[in-house]
Amino acid sequence: MTCTLKEGDLVVIEFDERRRFVTRLRKGARTGSDVGVVLHDDVIGSPCGSYVPVRGGRGGYALVYKPSIIDVLEHGFRRATQVIYPKDSALIAVLAGVGPGARIVEVGTGSGFVTALLAWLVGENGHVYTYEVRREALETAKRNLAMLGLEKRVTFHHRDARLGILEENVDAVIVDMPDPWDILDEAYRALKPGGVFAAYTPSAHQLYMLMERLLEHGGFTRPRVMEVLLREWLPEPEALRPASTMIAHTGFITVSRKVTKKEQV
């Protein structure tokens, strides 16, 4: 099956490994960098994954292809807040069992990076309900989700979830907020039996407080705690070796499940 790029398509224009841009193709438009410019008219009608000329600058060619969800998150989304890296958000989603048809509550929308991944995973029959207290961040998230056409899979609440989560019987509650222990009662009420509570905490103090409250609560299983360290390798056949830098600690991931409290048995 052939793939031809057309006007309106979302694409990655890759000048080199350090210069990647996600943009939507428009007749007469251009995407520029410090090494030259790609005319969208040169891209429209080209096969996916092909090279197009770089005008001006150093010349040469740029690679153009349709983006993955990670391409859009890393090179297309605007940031109004600190974000959770894909290395962490992907593991959170897997551990929380996010998949087609799932109903997910997210506390702490931020710029919508995790929201977008969740909306992409739940598919057309699932839904994400996300809570954010900062209006500016919420508006940024809405624009970001619209870039991927995923906004219809998301309900955006400009609301402090600690004052009440409006949904019930959801599959998972995923939390990115400074004090996740303050949401435990609301998360417990919103989750279906056996549903997953997952939290992202950057500091060890936050992790300690969350662990203490989770164990005291009585309505959650003993949590799993982990972090993800990511190191790329340099793909040089004659000198294959790890890169000299890596993305090390960014945050702790804590996962637990809702269970019946002993006094309810």
| Residue 1 within any structural domain of the chain | no
Q: Are residues 39 and 92 in the same domain?
A: no
Q: Are residues 256 and 231 in the same domain?
A: yes
Query: Is 182 flagged in the annotation as binding?
Result: no
Q: Are residues 55 and 95 in the same domain?
A: no
Find the mean pLDDT for residues 215-244: 94
Q: Are residues 126 and 210 in the same domain?
A: yes
The pLDDT tens digits for 40-63 are: 999 999 999 999 999 988 889 999
**Domain at 32, CATH number:** 3.10.330.20
Give the whole-angstrom CA distance, residue 53 versus residue 113: 32
Kindly indicate the confidence band of residue 90, based on its pLDDT and cuts at 50, 70 and 90: very high
The pLDDT tens digits for 171-202 are: 999 999 999 999 999 999 999 999 999 999 99
Q: Are residues 149 and 206 in the same domain?
A: yes
Find, among 223, 219, 230, the residue nearest to 209 by Cα. 223
Q: What residue numbers bound the domain in which 62 lies?
A: 10-67
Query: Is 171 flagged in the annotation as binding?
Result: no
pLDDT of residue 265: 52
Give the whole-angstrom CA distance, residue 126 versus residue 103: 6
pLDDT of residue 57: 81
Name the phi and psi angles at 42, rounded to 5: -75, -25
Note whether 10 and 22 are within 8 A (CB): yes
Q: Are residues 111 and 60 in the same domain?
A: no
| Residue 4 within any structural domain of the chain | no
Find the mean pLDDT for residues 120-144: 97
Find, among 27, 56, 32, the residue nearest to 42 by Cα. 27
Q: Which residues of 35-63 are buried (b: 16+ CB within 10 A; e: fewer)?
A: bbbbbbebbbebeeeeebebeeeeeeebe
Give the bridge partners for 21, in sequence order: 13
